[in-house]
Structure 1
Amino acid sequence: MDTPSKYNGTQNPEEWLKEFRFFCILRGIHDEHTMLELAMLKIDNTIPIPDEGISSFAELSDHLKDHITYTLQCKVAFEELKNIKYDTQMDVVEFIAKFLSLCDNSLVLNVQDQKLCLIQACPDDISRNVFKNKIKKKTSMHEVIEIFHDTMIEHKGQIRYGSRIALKHVVTGQYLSHGNKHKPDILRSNLSEVFCSGWKRGCNDVWVITAAYGQNKAPGDPISSNSMIQLVHEVTRESLFGDEGQLNLSGAWVWTLTDPRTNWIIQRHSTLYYDNPGYVMNGDMILLRHNLNKMTLKSHEFKNSAGNQEVIIHGDGQEDLHQWQIELMS
């Protein structure tokens, strides 16, 4: 820098003095008295220096902090601190750096006060309650920040109502898909077939998780294992459908309408059991169980009439062929 900026009351006094001293040392000025004299020359006339003078940088810092502009800086920083919110698209490290800077600038230095502000900064009530319970007994802000980081990473991976997902068949590695063209089956003229096609995810492999027929869920709410959902094909806006009486004959389909036959129970799968409790997360192995007759979505290497991998609804979910891996798109 060619010359240090003038202090006009809009900067943090400590930061400004640190930068000024850095400038002086960079220019070969090491004498404290000389640096102090130069610093006072760079202070705006609206912030007068007392007639008796100032004898140290600590005294100059206190003088700048006594001015009304610094009081207003703290008030503005405190308002921003109260309103700051973490967004799941933000970089956690950048957010924490800004948060701690606002704490410093607003003189919120007590750990308990900082904890309260960070709790309020959580993106929603779910993450707020989880984070609050985890830090209840913590007295170290370092630990609190680590827990915040881990909680937000977990929060970011949760599958929610409104999430765009893809479903990869675990055994064959192909994605649950549906084309744009309807090919009526012998049972219903308004149904078209779903299938697995391709090991690389495409636009026809994207599904949106919505509330089940007859239920009211807020977009953004996380989905727990054993929740009832609908899967809506993003391109065609048709819902994954299963006929209660004809599942074994008709395979799996999509339909333009929604009714109880478009409701599915989503269950997390583990190596020990297929009803693993907790929130459904990105990367989880899941089962999709039809709500009416409790049979599960299944695929295998057999081909349908169009040459795609067949998808049917059959069995109780005990076989590997019933497993799907959920991939979060947004």
Structure 2
Amino acid sequence: MEPVEYDETIHPVVWLNKIKSCCYKNQITKKEDIMEFCKSMIHPSIDVSKSSTFDEILNILKTDALFALFKYSVEEKLQNLKFDPKNKDHVQFISIFRKYCYEAEIKKIKSLNDLIVYFNQSFLKRRKLIRSGSCISLKHVATGKYLTSCNMHYKTGSKGSIVFASQTLSNLNSLWIVSDFENESNPIVYGKNKVYFLNKGVNENIFISRNYKSPSTGNWEVSCTREIYEHLIESDSTNNNDTYYIKSKEIINIRDMETNNCILHSHEFPFTIDNETYQEVVGHKGRVDRNDKWCI
């Protein structure tokens, strides 16, 4: 480690710690010797010749006019510091933020650690928000199975890609991209943003039919299609959510906005295609019941 001359572009305490580390590495351990070495690394325009302690050196450096300019430059860095919520490395941002607060000697904050903890919690909370473009799974609350599609097609009705509730969350067929053309990457609001659900496995969108009946119970058929059909995400009354934004782990209802104003529903009634049995997913009208609840 090379010795660092104090040039007023570094915080005095940070500089002093570096000087001490350099001394220890070079076997300079006596306080008097370290003190003299410190003085030798400070430009003569700042008079520290009469200082006898490290605290006295620091006080002189901090009362120098250029230290005020240094703090001002750090405050400008703080003002220009931008946080990107899409960046997963939020810890690095917090580290830089804390460094700048320290170097600018911002003292109006009651507790810098409390501020950092609050920021971290807020960031993690923000990351849980469901946005346009989020990739999600939807677990049927009553049966514990996942909303799924695949390349199997109905033999009757629309003959489109089947939608069913799967026992496992094992592949792209149980993942959905929730999107809103008008909202881009902003958080999605309960009962306001009209969204569509694109299945990652079949690359088609979920659709509640207005014409075809489901194969088992005769409710409205649910399939996947290349056409886009809009839905509203409605909040379940059990959610403990003090905002209008949709978060992961919350219980929701999904209502079709294009056709019959139907609600996405599943139950333990099966249907069979080519000797394979699937749990039926349908659309129905009327009051919301326990089989209409999905967990994000």
Task: Show the counterpart of 2:292.
Answer: 322
Distance in 2 between residues matched to 1:4 and 1:12, nearest whole Å: 17
Which of 35, 49, 56 is residue 53 of structure 1 equivalent to? 49
Do the aligned residues in 2 keep the contact of 1:266 with 1:289 (CA within 8 Å)?
Answer: yes
Distance in 2 between residues matched to 1:142 and 1:168, nearest whole Å: 38
> Where do 1:45-124 residues align within 5 Å?
47-48=43-44, 53-56=49-52, 57-64=54-61, 66=64, 73-88=70-85, 89-90=87-88, 94-111=92-109
2:190 is aligned with 1:225: yes
Distance in 1 between residues matched to 2:68 and 2:123, nearest whole Å: 33
Identity %: 25
Do the aligned residues in 1 keep the contact of 2:148 with 2:173 (CA within 8 Å)?
Answer: yes
Q: Deviations over 1:184-213 (max 9, x none)?
A: 654445x322112232331111111112xx
2:118 is aligned with 1:153: no
Task: Show the counterpart of 1:6.
Answer: 4
Do the aligned residues in 2 keep the contact of 1:169 with 1:324 (CA within 8 Å)?
Answer: yes
Which of 268, 285, 289 is residue 255 of structure 2 equivalent to? 289
Task: Show the counterpart of 1:209.
Answer: 178
Question: What secondary structure, in the 3-state scheme, does the structure 2 residue paired with 1:251 have?
Answer: strand
Distance in 2 between residues matched to 1:150 and 1:92, nearest whole Å: 11
Do the aligned residues in 1 keep the contact of 2:265 with 2:291 (CA within 8 Å)?
Answer: yes
Assess, with a 3 A threshold, how the Cα gap between structure 1 residues 36 and 52 changes in structure 2: closer, same or farther: closer
Task: Show the counterpart of 2:36.
Answer: 37
Do the aligned residues in 1 keep the contact of 2:173 with 2:200 (CA within 8 Å)?
Answer: yes
Task: Show the counterpart of 1:197.
Answer: 166
Do the aligned residues in 1 keep the contact of 2:271 with 2:278 (CA within 8 Å)?
Answer: yes
Do the aligned residues in 1 keep the contact of 2:178 with 2:196 (CA within 8 Å)?
Answer: yes
2:278 is aligned with 1:308: yes
Task: Show the counterpart of 1:136.
Answer: none
Q: Which runs of 5+ in 2 are unaligned?
A: none
The letter for the 2-side match of 1:29 is: T
Do the aligned residues in 2 keep the contact of 1:185 with 1:192 (CA within 8 Å)?
Answer: no
Question: What secondary structure, in the 3-state scheme, does the structure 1 residue paired with 2:260 have?
Answer: coil
Distance in 2 between residues matched to 1:87 and 1:40, nearest whole Å: 42
Question: What secondary structure, in the 3-state scheme, does the structure 1 residue paired with 2:138 have?
Answer: strand
What TM-score, normalized by structure 2, do the two folds share?
A: 0.78
Do the aligned residues in 2 keep the contact of 1:267 with 1:276 (CA within 8 Å)?
Answer: no
Task: Show the counterpart of 1:164.
Answer: 135
The letter for the 1-side match of 2:57 is: L
Q: Deviations over 1:131-182 (max 9, x none)?
A: xxxxxxxx66555444433322221111111111111122322221112x36
Distance in 1 between residues matched to 2:287 and 2:242, nearest whole Å: 13
Which of 210, 227, 243 is residue 257 of structure 1 equivalent to? 227
How far is 1:183 from its partner?
2.4
How far is 1:245 from its partner?
4.1
Do the aligned residues in 1 keep the contact of 2:12 with 2:58 (CA within 8 Å)?
Answer: yes
What TM-score, normalized by structure 1, do the two folds share?
A: 0.71
Larger proportion of helix: 1
Do the aligned residues in 2 keep the contact of 1:175 with 1:201 (CA within 8 Å)?
Answer: no
Assess, with a 3 A threshold, how the Cα gap between structure 1 residues 271 and 218 changes in structure 2: closer, same or farther: closer
Assess, with a 3 A threshold, how the Cα gap between structure 1 residues 276 and 104 changes in structure 2: closer, same or farther: closer
The two structures, once aligned, show a CA RMSD in angstroms of 3.4
Question: What secondary structure, in the 3-state scheme, does the structure 1 residue paired with 2:34 have?
Answer: helix
Question: What secondary structure, in the 3-state scheme, does the structure 1 residue paired with 2:197 have?
Answer: strand
Do the aligned residues in 2 keep the contact of 1:20 with 1:39 (CA within 8 Å)?
Answer: yes
The letter for the 2-side match of 1:263 is: E
Assess, with a 3 A threshold, how the Cα gap between structure 1 residues 193 and 270 changes in structure 2: closer, same or farther: same
How far is 1:303 from its partner?
3.3
Larger proportion of strand: 2
